[in-house]
Every structure is written in C-alpha cells, then in structure tokens.
Structure 1
C-alpha cells in the first residue's frame, strides 16, 4: 500500500513539474533586445516579400471570392502565436529556417503544421492504449497520459526530419546548378562581358528553380541598390549554401580584375565538382558495403538452413 501511494505521489509530482515547465516555456515574458530586433527583422522581411504592401483591389464578384475557413484561420493564428513564442524565447533555428527558405515554405505555416501534428499525437496515444487495453495488457490510468505526451512530442518533431531530408536533397541539386552557373559566368567574362552582365546573362539560360532563385536575387540587388555579389551572398546565407557566400566574398575582392574573376570562378567550379564527385563516390561505397552485408546475411541464413536438419539429428540422439 505504501509503495502504491509513493508511486502515485512521484507520478503526480513529475506530471506537475512537466505541466509547470510547459506553461513556463510558452508564457509571454519580457521581450529581450535580441528577440525584439529579431521580430523587427522578421516583419521587415515579411513586408519585403510584398505581403505587407499589398493593396486590396476592388472586385465585382466579392461574394464569389474564396474566404478562409475556420480551420485555416486557426492554423494561421496558431502558427503566428508559436512564431511569436519562438521570438520571445530566443529560439532562432537558423538551419531550419534556411531549409524552409530553400524549400520555399513559410515559417508560420511550418510551425502551425507542427502544432496540429502534436494535437493529433495527444489523441493518438490514448487510442493506442485503448487497443492495448482491449487485448488485456496494461491497466494503469497514467499510461494513456504518458503515451499521449510521447506521441505529441514525436509528432511535433517529425516535420523537422522531413524538412531536413528534403532540403538536403534540394541543396545538393542547387550546388550542382551553382557549379554550372559559375562556368557560364566565366565563359561570359571570357567573351568580353563585364561581371554584372555576365552574372545576369548566365542566370537567364534556363528557367529551372535554382536559376530562378539566382535571377530573383540579382533583380532584388538592382532594386535595393546593393552589388550583385552581395545579393548572391545573402541568397547563400538564406538557403544555407556556403559556396554562394564564399563566392560573394571572393568577387568583392577581385571584382575589378576580369582575369582574376575568371580564374577564381573556374577554380571554385572545379572545387565544387570535385566535392560532388567525392560525395557520389562515398555514397556508392556505402551502398556497396550495405549490399555486401546483405549478401553475407543471406549466406549465413542458407548455411543455417543446411546445417539445421543434421544438427537436430545429432543432438536429438542424446
């Protein structure tokens, strides 16, 4: 009886501590200077994309316009609320934001999907317990609570894994395009064009998504008044491609010397291709090792299948 009371007190104390930590993490606190500056930058970036300066145009079919439903409004508000919580707590998530920028996904929408999946996990845990309870396993009332919290935490972090996986694949493709883009810029420079014209002309040879991002960055540079290599550096920081940031630094040093620019671009493109070949060879080596292990397991299973009848006859005689 004493052990039951002690376990109940411990479980209750842990639950209370967990609830207190959760409430304390999401409670609005006094905003630090860092979070205030981050909030201003986020609002400025949101306005720079055109969302803050959109003018509502009159429409003759106002009744037929699509109006967001309650679920959409709830999702938007929950995403904005969680984004504000992240700002207040100082959780910047640079790498995750770079992955989302590369995938062209919004930060608030991503956080809203995380919250919705966590809510699904809270209901999924008790449903799993109900199935287990019908079988006759488990009778403690604390099991569904812990299962709900565990599945909520698991579902909350599942979108992070998906985003990082998709962004890694897309970032490899982006690096391949950047290597080809540098070769095109070097060829344009060899043809007598200046560096701004070469950067612009090389970005217009295709309508792929990677060159479209580069072309958009160069167009923004003309509007904002910064140099084109600075725009490429900002794009590299935004999408998490270090090669573009390094390219911007090197171009800023040798922008006035066409020969040095061509040599620098050619060397950088060759380095990126060598790195890509090394990654491809490494991936092929890993796959060959996994195939070798699979073959060894098949051989071991076949040997067990052959030896088992004889072993049973030998050991069965004793």
Structure 2
C-alpha cells in the first residue's frame, strides 16, 4: 500500500508539472491583461520582507500568485478586501498560507513517527491526517486573517468618523475640498490617517480627484462610510451643494453606531462569561452529588 501511494504521488507530480509546463495551459492574452489591470488597480505598496523567512515566503507566494494569474484565477473578493485592510499583498498571504498548510501536513507524520516505527500505527493514518492538517492549517490562516481584518476595519471606522469632523471644520473655515481633505488627513500619524493621506497624495500624482480615490479605497476595504464620504464630497465639488452639516451628522451617526456595536459586543461577552460560570457551577454540583449517588447506586 505504501509503494502504491508513493507511485501515485510521483505520477501525480509528473502530471502537474506536465500541465504547468505545457504551452496550451500557459498564459493567454486575456489573463495577462487581467493581471496587469489588477496590479494597476491595486496601487498599494508591497511590504518589504523583514528577514530571510519572510523573503522565502514572499518568493513562494509570488510564484503561486503568478501561476494563478496565468490561468485567470483570482482570490475571492472577501479575502482581497481583508488583505487591503491589513495592507498585505496577495503574494505574502499566499506564501504564508502555503507554508502553514505544509506544516500542518507534516505535523501528524512527525507526531506519529515513533508509533509508526514501533508498529502501533499504520502508515496510512498519517497520510489522511496530513490532508486534514493541510486543510486545517489553511483554514486557520483564513480565519485569523478575517478576525484581524474585522478588528482593523472597526478601528478604521473610528478614524473615518474623526476624519469627517475634520473635513467639515476645514470646509467651514473656507477651504476647498482638496485642501480640506489634505489638511484633515495630516493631523495624525496613526495608520488610518496615514492610509487616507497616502490615498489622497497618490490621487494627486495619478491625476484623479481625491474623493474618487477615497471611494476606491472604500470599495477595496469594504468600508461603507468611506464610500458615502466620497459620494458626499463629489456632490460638493460637482453640484456646489453645501453638505457641511451633513458631514457632521454622518460623523455623529457613525459614533452612535460604534457605541451601539461596542455595547452589543460587551453584552455578548457578558453572556459568554455567564455561560462559563454556569458550567463551573454545574461541574461543582456534580462533584458534590457524585459521592452520594455512588453510595446509593453502589458503584
């Protein structure tokens, strides 16, 4: 059985290499144009690897991303928006996911190696556990990315609410929309304000309006409030509408919504703590009642 599985793995690797090297399955003009458009629309600085391990992960992810782009395969929108919030590149995410999957695949075999050598465990079991471990490692990486992105997106909404107030005050002071956006984004060195400031500066260099760039950033990060801000600022610039009071009202409503979300999370955590306390109380009652029940039943 081991030799059959090994021969199948070698044959499958050969088929995969044959398909990957075949010109018929290579990049097409449409896939290359799609890849170039995706890189142009992304417009985000790629993180620099801090050490040799991150460099290898980035190189591995670059190869995987290139192979997927050659075949016209893109990551789901949810994952791409989470990566945009975390300011991570697709290549680094794919490299980290692949490394975690490889570690999860080899971990069961290493853990059960002594038992296999003693003959207590069949070699087939670690192979099945390797598949489960690889899938589990990749799933854990995605769940961790989603959790971190949700927390960071929540913090970014706080920044957007403050940004709305600052833009409103700059408009009230007689500044224009571009000058008000630049001045509002330059009051802090937090990551959210820095992200807004870089977006506005890149819009100036690219020759597009700053509110269009902010709306694009809101689409990438899935932040509804930023898209609403871009629409309101476009209304100011194009139709001459006075929406200073509207921006202030939007900021107040965002703060109320954030306060309601915080109260909801606090209630959920209180309920989870209550359930934990009930479980502890139930376990303590079982500990007290068990000797009497054991004496009655005769255990």
TM-score by length of 2: 0.81
Looking at structure 2, the residues matched to 210 and 171 of structure 1 have their Cα atoms a distance apart, in angstroms, of: 10
Is the contact made by 2:106 and 2:130 (CA closer than 8 Å) also made in structure 1? yes
User: For residue 111 of structure 1, what is the aligned residue in structure 2?
Assistant: 94
- 1:38 match: 34
Deviations 1:111-151 (A, max 9, x none): 12222223323322321332443676432x32222222222
Q: Which moved more, 1:77-86 or 1:174-183?
A: 77-86
Structure 2 contact 34–72 (Cα < 8 Å) conserved: no
The answer for the alignment partner of 2:280 in structure 1 is 298
Residues 227-246 of structure 1 aligned to structure 2 (within 5 Å): 227-246=209-228
Give the aligned partner of residue 216 of structure 1: 198
Q: Secondary structure of 2:74's match?
A: coil
Greater Rg, structure 1 or structure 2? 1
Query: What secondary structure sits across from 1:255 in the alignment?
Result: helix
1:283 aligns with 265
Confirm or deny: 8 A CA contact 2:161 2:255 kept in the other structure: yes
Q: Do 1:182 and 1:269's aligned partners in 2 also have CA atoms closer than 8 Å?
A: yes
With 305-314 and 102-111 compared, the bigger mean Cα shift is at 305-314
TM-score, length basis structure 1: 0.77
Q: Is structure 2 residue 105 aligned with structure 1 residue 122?
A: yes
Q: Pairwise mapping of residues 166-315 of structure 1 onto structure 2 (< 5 A)?
A: 166-255=148-237, 260-315=242-297
* CA distance 1:34–1:131, change in 2 (3 Å): farther
> Structure 2: 5+ residue runs without aligned partners?
none
CA contact (8 A) 1:125 1:150 kept: no
Between the aligned partners of 1:248 and 1:169, the Cα distance in structure 2 is 23
SS of the aligned residue for 1:205 comes to coil
* 1:9-48 pair list within 5 angstroms: 19=12, 23=16, 27=20, 29=25, 31=27, 35-44=31-40
Mapped partners of 1:37, 1:242: distance in 2: 29
CA distance in 2, matches of 1:103, 1:219: 20
SS in 2 for 1:260: coil
